[in-house]
Amino acid sequence: MNLHRVLRSFEGLRLLDRPAGVLSRFFGRLIDRSRLGGILRGSWLGHPVHPLLITIPIGTWTASAVLDVLFKDVAAARRLVGVGLVAVPPTILAGWADYVLLDKPQQRVGLVHALLNAFGVSMFGLAYRAYGRDRNGAARTFVILGLVAIGVGGALGGHLSYAQGAGMFRWQPARSVTPVGLDEYRRAA
């Protein structure tokens, strides 16, 4: 099985266009009305902020699994799940700020990326709660499901950035750059 082909298949899911358009308009109005769009998109940094922010939940959630499974430190694992959950809102907002600038095939992939990550976040929310109730086996199951979901969602995020060129050259005039192969890639889609 060619993983790139699987990731690329989401680009053609036209049935996602309507919800993608609704979400793009909603978040476009919400974020641009708040004047946070430039900050959330990373215009001050020269590249998107979302890829930087995702390292916090992914890192804490991965570390929580290691601390729980290998070191049997359930309390530390729960705290790390909580830190990851606290980092989610700005991460999501930065992702939606970028989303509104995407073209249709990118929005399709972005929507599936967001849905998988939303499922993953909900699994970590359930894990946090299960740890708090001393249901450690259930918490581990939720953590594993969450890691799988954000792993697949992350693969789609990587596809969106690297294969589809989302966010590339955003702050440069279009005539100053030529993304090699991007036009050919889009024509083949």
Q: What is the mean pLDDT of each run of 10 residues along the chain (189 residues)?
A: 90 97 94 84 87 97 97 98 98 95 96 98 98 98 98 97 82 44 51
pLDDT at position 97 is 93
Q: Rounded CA gap, 160 and 102, in Å? A: 10
CB 11 within 8 A of CB 80: no
pLDDT at position 178 is 41
- Which residue matches tokens 């792993």? 151
pLDDT at position 7 is 93
pLDDT at position 180 is 47
The reported pTM is 0.88
